Amino acid sequence: TTPVETLEVEGSQVFAINDRQMLFVLEPFAEAMIQPLVDLKPREIIAIDGVFHDSDQLKSNLELQCRDAGIKFTCL
């Protein structure tokens, strides 16, 4: 019953719920997406591991940027 908003961030779709407080990344992730996602100031960003294409560096960069911004990051 919660509305889902679809956002386009650097060419990939990101799904937002609860007035953009929670963002779900289910499509391929790129370095250029980090700052726009952080700028949305969500409470939490959730991504599936496969979107990072086995790039631990990319996943770590997102995690560190989230931590610096006070955003919870979860990778499933």
Question: pTM for the complete prediction?
Answer: 0.92
Place 1 in a pLDDT band, splitting at 50, 70 and 90.
Answer: confident
Do 33 and 9 contact (CB within 8 A), yes or no? Answer: yes
pLDDT in tens, 17-45: 999 999 999 999 999 999 999 999 999 99
Work out the burial of residue 32: count CB atoms within 10 Å of its CB; fewer than 13 is exposed, 13-18 middle, 19 or more buried: exposed
Do 21 and 2 contact (CB within 8 A), yes or no? Answer: no
Q: Which of 14, 32, 31 is nearest to 23 (CA)?
A: 14
> Which phi and psi (to 5°) does residue 44 adopt?
-150, 145
